[in-house]
Structure 1
Amino acid sequence: MSRLQNKTALITGGTSGIGLETARQFIAEGAKVAVTGTNPKNIEAARAELGDAALFIQADAGDIAGQKAIAETVGKAFGHLDILFVNAGVADFRPIEQVDEDAFDRSVAINVKGPFFLIQALLPLFANPASIVLNTSINAHIGMPNTSIYALTKAALLSFAKTLSGELIGRGIRVNAVSPGPVATPLYGKLGMSTADTDAMATAKIPIGRFGHPSEIAKAVVFLGSDESAYTVGSELVIDGGMSNL
């Protein structure tokens, strides 16, 4: 497979879950890949899997100065950038009365502010044509309890996909979004959900009856990053097993 042959790509949050699987598939399709991560243990685990096929950058997705540093590192390593997959994010699920200013600001910084300024910092590097894919969420569309902060940040990213697609298409940069439903990643364990909890959620909330697999999201990102999607601009690909149709 060589749909991304000779292309350069940056994946934020590329050391676990959807990001790591996307890095695997990008490399298999011929791309030169850089990934970012914050946790040194996750970076080393990803390095053990991907080896020298990827460039690893330790960075805080919510730190604005860090976004400029990422752009500088990618520029020195690749010279230009063909694909950006904005995948790094935080999911803070709690009732609204438990949300304090620090929690609000942290989610906005990581999920909205960081991605915005990363794209800004990378603008001089993007090739013509190039592709940006934003990882949003079906939570931008559905009223799931206890997800107010998460949903508003993902809705902001979805808005970026539409507005930036109009602003950047003149530079040859296509911007699109993937909006996954629940995907089997380490996230749900971090949220304190057991296998029984996720199975019950799948049965009750997802028509297809299961969580998605990271590979299913990654395949969509490969498509949006490749020349096969050259006529796809400002679009959202919902991948949720039918959950948002209930």
Structure 2
Amino acid sequence: MAVLTDKVAVVTGGSSGIGLAIARAYRDEGARVFITGRRKEALDAAIAELGEKVTAVVCDSAVPADLDALYETVREQAGHVDVVVANAGIGIEAAFGEVTEEQVDALFATNVKGTIFTVQKALPLLRPGASIILTGSSAATRPQSGLEVYGATKAAVRNLARGWAHSSRRYGFRVNVLAPGMVPTPGLLDLVDADTRDQAKGIIPLGRHGEPAEIAAAAVFLASDASSYVNGSELAADGGVAQV
């Protein structure tokens, strides 16, 4: 039997890349899935592929009112939530010495503020035993030049999971971080040039980049009952680059 049968999952930033791969994997494992994105046309394309078991909601995770509308849609259509994947995030290359206030505000608004309110606003809908998954990054511990601020936002995400894990008993959820390494997605291709991506293979112990489907497989594990005693942890899916 599919491991997520009858579960309801919310995946923010689910219109492309890793978020889309997670939504696809959850659908295939039997979940009813809600995805978000800021661009309706990208969401429409995702739904054309994913089909009727997936619902798209236009939502900017940095805007709390958008998240209110998202969870109202989930409440009306599904009534509860079993899995929240706070995946929406942005990356901006900002060389030290040239970082702007606008870049800092944008990165922290989406990656940190958005994660906080994606989870907090889900609390009234969570069923006992719900799994919360925060998308981190190997950049939290091994940031590349120009990605220091981005890495700082992902380090904050890791610390949120550590803190929220103490609330597990009160709210009845588990919370963990899924930390991908370099995975070719539209966002990464815009952020990291081809030469840098090729050079990165040389420091990845597995000698290659990851695939979105590999990150999605880890997300299925964290959402499923197979990880029922995993809480407050970080699952690195980075080929070993930030581990050794």
TM-score (norm 2): 0.96
1:63 corresponds to which residue? 63
CA displacement at 1:147 relative to structure 2 = 1.1
SS at match of 1:49: helix
Unaligned runs of 5+ in 2: none
1:110 corresponds to which residue? 110
1:70-116 CA-to-partner distances (Å, cap 9, x unmatched) read 11111111100000011110011221222111111111010010111
SS at match of 2:156: helix
Structure having the larger proportion of residues in helix:
1
> Is structure 2 residue 203 aligned with structure 1 residue 205?
yes
Q: State the one-letter code of the partner of 2:13.
A: G
Q: State the one-letter code of the partner of 2:197.
A: T
CA displacement at 1:144 relative to structure 2 = 2.4
CA displacement at 1:237 relative to structure 2 = 0.5
Residue among 235, 239, 242 paired with 1:241: 239
1:159-180 CA-to-partner distances (Å, cap 9, x unmatched) read 1111101113332100011111
Residue 68 of structure 1 contacts residue 118 of structure 1 at CA under 8 Å; is this kept in 2?
no
Q: State the one-letter code of the partner of 2:74.
A: V
1:221 corresponds to which residue? 219
SS at match of 1:244: coil
1:43 corresponds to which residue? 43
Superposed counterparts of 1:7-156, under 5 Å: 7-156=7-156
Cα 1:138–1:197 shift into 2, 3 Å:
closer
CA displacement at 1:39 relative to structure 2 = 1.7
- For residues 192 and 165 of structure 1, the distance between their equivalents in structure 2, rounded to whole angstroms, comes to 33
**Identical pairs, percent:** 40
Q: State the one-letter code of the partner of 2:204.
A: I
TM-score (norm 1): 0.95
Residue 85 of structure 1 contacts residue 133 of structure 1 at CA under 8 Å; is this kept in 2?
yes
Over the aligned positions, Cα root-mean-square deviation in angstroms equals: 1.3
Would you say how many aligned residue pairs link Structure 1 and Structure 2? 244
Unaligned runs of 5+ in 1: none
1:193 corresponds to which residue? 193
CA displacement at 1:192 relative to structure 2 = 5.6
Residue 162 of structure 1 contacts residue 235 of structure 1 at CA under 8 Å; is this kept in 2?
yes
Q: State the one-letter code of the partner of 2:93.
A: F
Residue 123 of structure 2 contacts residue 171 of structure 2 at CA under 8 Å; is this kept in 1?
no
1:182 corresponds to which residue? 182
SS at match of 2:232: coil
CA displacement at 1:197 relative to structure 2 = 4.1
Q: Deviating runs (4+, > 6 A) in structure 1? A: none
